[in-house]
Each structure stands twice: as structure tokens, then as C-alpha cells.
Chain A
Amino acid sequence: MKILVVEDEPKTGDYLRQGLVEAGFVVDLARDGVDGLHLGETGDYDLAILDVMLPQLDGWQLLAGLRRAGREMPVLFLTARDQVEDRVKGLELGADDYLVKPFAFAELLARVRTLLRRGGRKAEADQMLVADLELDLMRRRVTRGGQRIDLTAKEFALLELLLRHRGEVLPRSLIASQIWDMNFDSDTNVIEVAVRRLRAKMDDGFEPKLIHTVRGMGYVLEDNTE
């Protein structure tokens, strides 16, 4: 998967590139709007991450230029301004997602993966499996090692979210927004408690442990023994 990043702030640009490369993407970094547009027009990218405030050509103009050139890849905007008008403008121009700086890198990764999955999404399986954990989406049932586990509706939704993003670190803010629709900086203690309770039900007493805390980042579900 090839990603175009256009960011003029040198440190941010470098770390975005490093982070995305380490997450397994191929990344081209442009430092201004003109270079960005040139790369976008000539290269073949699966996704573009654009800063709104850019020298020479701002993010909006860059996006308009890409669309004129027939480039239809999904676009994610980064902005320092938390203005509703910006959001509306971006979505009208055909941006696919929007992140306000400062953001958690895990959140950016999660959104990038979601955007890349979109379109090319395979039909969802009715069942999801990790190690001996089995999630039956049709019957809303969870078993571990053949043993039935009772989960509340929210716990089920949380486990499903972690499973769908298996191996990806999910930040607390993303979990709050996806499961409880809390789209603001809410009490993140709530997520900790919720994850702890979910773990108590489906990890305690079982091996291997599947839900892991990544300090400073969030939570990830994976089988480390694989």
C-alpha cells in the first residue's frame, strides 16, 4: 500500500513517514503543495494524507487539483484548526476523513487502515477467530476454548471492534467514539475500566492472553504466540 504524505512541518513530516513505514506502508513525503500535487498526479497512491496549511498551495487546492487530474484515492486531512467550517469545506471538496492536531498516532493509523479497507472490503465473515477465541456475529455468542462467555452488548461491541482491527493498536479516544459515540475528549478512565472488565471475562484463566495494553497508545488484540 502506497501513501502520499504532504506536510510542511519538518518534524511532523518525518515522524509521519517513519511511523507509516514501520506500520508496513510505502510512503512518499512532500514538503509543500506544489511538490505534493506533482507527486499525486504522477505517482500511483492508495491514500493521501494532506496538511491543510501548506506553503504555495494549500490542502484544499491540492485536493481539488488531484481530483481534476482524475485521482480518486481517499484523502485524509490534518489540520490545526478545529473549525466546523473547515470540516464542512473538506468534506464538500471530497475529503474522506479529518483529524485535528494534535492527534494520537494510533488514531491516525486506525483511520488510515479503515480508509484503505473501504471499497476493497471483503464480505464480512459471520465468525471471527483468534487462537481459541471465537466470535459468532450472527448469534452474538462468544466462546473461548469451547467455553461460553457471557458479555454485555457493549462488551460484545468492544470485542468485535478489537477483533476487526486485530493486531492494530486502538487508542482510547477511538474506542470511545466507536462504541459509545463519545466524539470528544471524554473520561478515558471509562475505557480502561471497560477493557479491564472485558479482559476479566475472556482473558483471565485462559492462555494465551489476547488483549494487550500498549502504554501511551491504547489497546491491541492479538495472539503473540503466533
Chain B
Amino acid sequence: MSRRSESITLRLTLLFAAVSTAVLLTLGLLIGNTVEQHFVEQDMDQMSGKLRLAGHLLERIQTPVALDALPLQLDDALVGHHDLAIVVRSAAERTLFATPGASFPPALLARNAVRNPPRPQVWQQDGPSGAQPRRGISALLPTGIRGEPPVLVAVAVDITHHDHFMASFRRTLWLFVAVAAALAGLLGWAAVRRGLAPLQAIRQGAAGITASRLDYRLAVDAVPVELAELAETLNEMLARLEDSFTRLKDFSSDLAHELRTPISNLMTETQVALTRARSPDEYREVLASNVEEYERLARMIGDMLFLAQADNGLIVPNREPVDLAAEVRELFDFFDALAEEKALQLSLTGEGQVSGDKLMLRRALANLLSNAIRHTPEGGNIRISIETSAGGIKLSIENSGEPIPEEHLARIFDRFYRADPSRHRSSDGAGLGLAITRSIVQAHGGEIFLCPTTNGVCFEMHLA
């Protein structure tokens, strides 16, 4: 199925040519048949006229002797009609009259084959200039002789001229059809090329898009209606790309910054320590301080590895039943000392069970709770509620305090993003906690978002 499909131009051009050829062919056949029909009718008129004439003559013959005068009368009637052939035969198969050279197929001369109304037949007759086409009819006509059966009269016309005309007419017609079809194909090709020109314009526009020019947008108004939707979709894709790319760029520069700060601390501290001899206690102090920075770095690298694995879909959670309320109670127990120091009230309502990775979910919840404890002012409260519904489990964690300013809401889950820049590099983490929490929730097929709340901050997590 990977075969590349034919070019649209080629396909449309072929379709154009095929359709016009079919239409022209049908038209040609129709015209040809009509003209031929017209000739047949003309011949029939002429032949019926002659039959009627013969009929009149025969009706006037009252005695068998009078029959002998028939050829003379017919000769008179046929003066000037060289292309006509007539044969008159009596019931006893005696030829009463025949034009010179006349020859008819047996089907026309057999009395029992005669049809009323007459049916024309076409045959070839050997003439002086090769085979000549003939069309003829026959009829049984009564004579004036009482008690005598009707005689058979057959009439034929030479249709060489008609055939010649038809042959040349058909030749002209086919030539015309061929030329017209080729022309239609050519016109179709030109029209398609013109019609597809906006696509070419879109292509050129897209070709100019690079990482540094992701702000380019296709002019939706300038493309035909049929392509407007495509252009809009492409523009939306570009917008998403630009957004992701911006985040990625921010992430890279944040990452560099986050790494540079502790390393610069380490370098300065160590170099200052080395400038002169110091007491063992002073060295110990420097080393201990360094270890703290190293630990921070190690933690950050570990977190980033986790996020990178999550991005690549490498975080595959175990599936075991996890009692969320029990996990929350364990975390309350863990954070108890910290919460008590700030006189925070921790409360839990509801319960629910999900299928997931216990360690990862605990980590996700720990990040949220640790965040909440950090941002709740002294004497505040943190409420966790778990609700079970048909759609799954909803867990919300809400803390009292200052709401997150509007401008930070969209980026709160971004890596290294801190709502308060002045909190940079405080004792807590590197700003990866919420990103990790979201990665874990997403790896479980769930979602997490900020929920509206009047005062304070509220996160809501949905798990299947």
C-alpha cells in the first residue's frame, strides 16, 4: 500500500479525455445512425413508389393476355431510373418482367417469405465495377385477372452512393472525435494545472518554514474555498508546533540555567576554599555544602530522566489495585511533621480504588501534597477528596491561600516553571514536580488540571 498514488494532474487529464471521448463517440454514433436511417427511409420511399406504380399497372390487367404487355408498360415507367431493378414473377414462378442484370437474393423472391409491410434487405451484387450494394423489398400484388393469385414484385435500388457517403462521413467523424478528445485532454490538463496552482503556493510557503520561522501562517483568504480548510488545519498544526517548540526552547535554556547555577556555586565555593590553607572543619563545611549541591543536581537529573522516559512512552506503569485513600493517609502520615510545623489542617474525604502503579501514584500524590504544603500559609488547610463515578476516579486536592495568578495557569505543568520567579532555587525542588505528576497521571491514561476555586489552589486528577 506504500505505492505512491498517481499524480492528480495526470488522473484528472485522463478523466477529462475519457469523458469527452465517450460523449463525442456517443454523439457520433447517434448522428451516423440518424443519417443512415434517413437514407433507408429515402430508399424505401422510392421503392414503395415503384411498388405502388406496379400495383396500379397490375390492377389494370384484366386478362392473361394483357400480362404480356406489362414489360412494355414497366419499361416506360422506369425510363431514367437506371439505378432501379425490378422483377415480376407469376405465381407459377414465371418471370413476367425483369430489368436487365437484376438479381435478387432468394429470400426476397420466395413467395412465402414476403412480409407485409415489406422489410428491406441489403445485399451485394456483382456489377461491372465490382460488388455493388443493393437494398430491396418485395411484395405480393394482385392483378385484375379474376381468380388469378397475386404476382410477386421485387424492387431494388443501388445504394453505392449512400454507402460511399456514410463511409466518408464516419471517417470524418472519428477523426473529429480523436482530435476533440485530445484537445479536451489538453484543456483539462491546463485547467487542472491552473486549479492546483494554490497548492503549489501552499507548498512554497511550507517549504519556507524552518525552526526559526515557525510564526509563518498560510493566507487562508487567498486560497480557494476547497483548500481553505486544509490551510486552516496546517495553520493550526503550525501553531501547535510553534508552541511545543517554544516550550522546548524554554526548557533547554531553563535546563542550562538550572545546571549552571549549582555548578557555578560548586566551582566558586571550592576555588575560594582552595585559595589558602584552612582548618579541617572549614574543609568539611565546604565539602558538606558541595554534597548538598550534588544531591540537588542528582535529583534533578533523575527527574529529567524520568520525564524523558515518559516523553518517549517508556514509563509503563504496573497495574495493581491501589487504594487511593490508604495512599493519601500514608502520605499524610509522612508529611505530618511538616504540616504540624505550619499548623496546617490535612483532611481527606471519600475513597476509591484504581488500577495502577503504587509507587508512581504515590510519587504523583506526594508531589502535589508537598507543593500544597509549601504554598499554604500558616494555619491554613489542605483538603483531599476522592469521588468514584462511572467514568472513573476523581481526586482533588485543594489548599487555602493565594490563587495562582491568571498568567501562570497555562504553564503551571511546564518543566522548571515556577509561578513565583523569586522562589527560584529555594529549598524545594527544581520545578519538575508538577511535570512529573502529570507524566505519571498521563502514563496511567488519566488527566490532571487546575480546577476553578474561589480562594486557594485546586488540582483535580482523573484516573480510570
A residues contacting B by CB (< 8 A) are: 82, 100, 102, 104, 154, 176, 180-187, 189-190, 193-194, 197, 215-217
Interface assignment of B362: CB less than 8 Å from any CB of chain A: yes
User: B302 contacts which of A82, A181, A190 (Cβ < 8 Å)?
Assistant: A82
Q: Decide yes or no: A180 and B334 within 8 Å by CB, A82-B302, A185-B299, A189-B427 being known contacts.
A: yes
Q: Could you tell me the distance between the alpha carbons of A82 and B359 in the complex, rounded to whole angstroms?
A: 14
Q: Are A194 and B303 in contact (CB under 8 A)?
A: no
How many chain B residues sit at the interface, stated as a range, is 20 to 34
Interface assignment of B217: CB less than 8 Å from any CB of chain A: no
How far in angstroms is the closest Cβ of chain B from A161? Answer: 15
Q: Are B305 and A193 in contact (CB under 8 A)?
A: no
How far in angstroms is the closest Cβ of chain B from A197? Answer: 6
Residue in chain A with minimal CB distance to B335: A190
Residue in chain B with minimal CB distance to A152: B336
> Which chain A residues border B336 with CB–CB below 8 Å?
154
Interface assignment of B277: CB less than 8 Å from any CB of chain A: no
User: B288 contacts which of A82, A189, A216 (Cβ < 8 Å)?
Assistant: A216
Interface assignment of B353: CB less than 8 Å from any CB of chain A: no
How far in angstroms is the closest Cβ of chain B from A181? Answer: 7
Q: Are A190 and B291 in contact (CB under 8 A)?
A: no
Q: Are A187 and B338 in contact (CB under 8 A)?
A: yes
Q: Could you tell me the distance between the alpha carbons of A154 and B437 in the complex, rounded to whole angstroms?
A: 27
Which residues of chain B from 131 to 182 have a CB within 8 Å of any chain A CB?
none
> Which chain A residues border B284 with CB–CB below 8 Å?
215
Q: Decide yes or no: A185 and B302 within 8 Å by CB, A215-B288, A216-B287, A216-B290 being known contacts.
A: yes
Q: Could you tell me the distance between the alpha carbons of A126 and B290 in the complex, rounded to whole angstroms?
A: 41
Q: Mark B332-344, 1 if CB is under 8 A from A, else 0.
A: 0111111001000
> Which chain A residues border B334 with CB–CB below 8 Å?
176, 180, 182, 186, 190
Interface assignment of B285: CB less than 8 Å from any CB of chain A: yes
Q: Are A183 and B337 in contact (CB under 8 A)?
A: no
Interface assignment of B451: CB less than 8 Å from any CB of chain A: no
Q: Are B285 and A193 in contact (CB under 8 A)?
A: no
Interface assignment of B457: CB less than 8 Å from any CB of chain A: no
Q: Could you tell me the distance between the alpha carbons of A183 and B334 in the complex, rounded to whole angstroms?
A: 12
> Which chain A residues border B335 with CB–CB below 8 Å?
187, 190
Q: Are A154 and B366 in contact (CB under 8 A)?
A: no
Q: Could you tell me the distance between the alpha carbons of A20 and B446 in the complex, rounded to whole angstroms?
A: 46
Q: Are A181 and B330 in contact (CB under 8 A)?
A: yes
Interface assignment of B292: CB less than 8 Å from any CB of chain A: yes
Q: Mark B185-208, 1 if CB is under 8 A from A, else 0.
A: 000000000000000000000000
Interface assignment of B347: CB less than 8 Å from any CB of chain A: no
Q: Are B366 and A187 in contact (CB under 8 A)?
A: yes
Q: Decide yes or no: A102 and B338 within 8 Å by CB, A154-B333, A182-B362 being known contacts.
A: no
Q: Are B359 and A216 in contact (CB under 8 A)?
A: no
Interface assignment of B289: CB less than 8 Å from any CB of chain A: yes
B residues contacting A by CB (< 8 A) are: 284-285, 287-292, 294-295, 298-299, 301-303, 305-306, 330, 333-338, 341, 359, 362-363, 366, 370, 427-428
> Which chain B residues border A185 with CB–CB below 8 Å?
299, 302-303
11 A-B pairs in the complex with CB atoms less than 8 angstroms apart: A82-B306, A180-B334, A184-B363, A186-B363, A187-B335, A187-B366, A189-B427, A190-B334, A194-B337, A215-B285, A217-B288
Q: Could you tell me the distance between the alpha carbons of A182 and B337 in the complex, rounded to whole angstroms?
A: 15
User: A189 contacts which of B285, B303, B330, B338 (Cβ < 8 Å)?
Assistant: B338
Residue in chain A with minimal CB distance to B427: A189
> Which chain B residues border A181 with CB–CB below 8 Å?
330
Q: Could you tell me the distance between the alpha carbons of A185 and B338 in the complex, rounded to whole angstroms?
A: 16
> Which chain A residues border B370 with CB–CB below 8 Å?
186-187
Q: Could you tell me the distance between the alpha carbons of A212 and B333 in the complex, rounded to whole angstroms?
A: 24
Residue in chain B with minimal CB distance to A171: B295
Q: Are B366 and A182 in contact (CB under 8 A)?
A: yes
Given pairs A82-B305, A100-B302, A217-B291, 19 additional interface contacts (CB within 8 A): A82-B302, A102-B294, A104-B295, A154-B333, A182-B362, A182-B366, A184-B362, A184-B363, A185-B299, A185-B302, A189-B428, A190-B338, A193-B337, A193-B338, A197-B337, A215-B284, A215-B289, A216-B288, A216-B292
Residue in chain B with minimal CB distance to A105: B291
How far in angstroms is the closest Cβ of chain A from B14? Answer: 56
> Which chain B residues border A217 with CB–CB below 8 Å?
288, 291
Q: Are B333 and A186 in contact (CB under 8 A)?
A: no
> Which chain A residues border B359 with CB–CB below 8 Å?
183-184
Q: Are A180 and B291 in contact (CB under 8 A)?
A: no
Greatest chain B CB density within 10 A among A185, A186, A194, A217 is at A185
Q: Could you tell me the distance between the alpha carbons of A189 and B305 in the complex, rounded to whole angstroms?
A: 23
Q: Are A102 and B298 in contact (CB under 8 A)?
A: yes
Greatest chain B CB density within 10 A among A82, A154, A183, A189 is at A189
Q: Could you tell me the distance between the alpha carbons of A176 and B292 in the complex, rounded to whole angstroms?
A: 17
> Which chain B residues border A154 with CB–CB below 8 Å?
333, 336
Q: Could you tell me the distance between the alpha carbons of A25 and B7 in the complex, rounded to whole angstroms?
A: 77
> Which chain A residues border B288 with CB–CB below 8 Å?
215-217
Residue in chain B with minimal CB distance to A181: B330
Q: Which 7 A-B pairs have the closest CB atoms?
A: A216-B291, A215-B288, A216-B288, A193-B337, A180-B334, A102-B298, A187-B370
Q: Could you tell me the distance between the alpha carbons of A193 and B340 in the complex, rounded to whole angstroms?
A: 10
> Which chain B residues border A189 with CB–CB below 8 Å?
338, 427-428
> Which chain A residues border B291 with CB–CB below 8 Å?
215-217
> Which chain B residues border A184 with CB–CB below 8 Å?
359, 362-363, 366
Q: Could you tell me the distance between the alpha carbons of A190 and B295 in the complex, rounded to whole angstroms?
A: 16
> Which chain A residues border B305 with CB–CB below 8 Å?
82
Q: Could you tell me the distance between the alpha carbons of A186 and B370 in the complex, rounded to whole angstroms?
A: 9
Q: Could you tell me the distance between the alpha carbons of A190 and B334 in the complex, rounded to whole angstroms?
A: 7
How far in angstroms is the closest Cβ of chain A from B418? Answer: 16
How far in angstroms is the closest Cβ of chain A from B273? Answer: 14
Q: Are A193 and B341 in contact (CB under 8 A)?
A: yes
> Which chain B residues border A216 with CB–CB below 8 Å?
287-292, 295
Q: Could you tell me the distance between the alpha carbons of A216 and B287 in the complex, rounded to whole angstroms?
A: 8
User: B337 contacts which of A102, A186, A190, A215 (Cβ < 8 Å)?
Assistant: A190
> Which chain B residues border A176 with CB–CB below 8 Å?
334
Q: Could you tell me the distance between the alpha carbons of A190 and B341 in the complex, rounded to whole angstroms?
A: 10
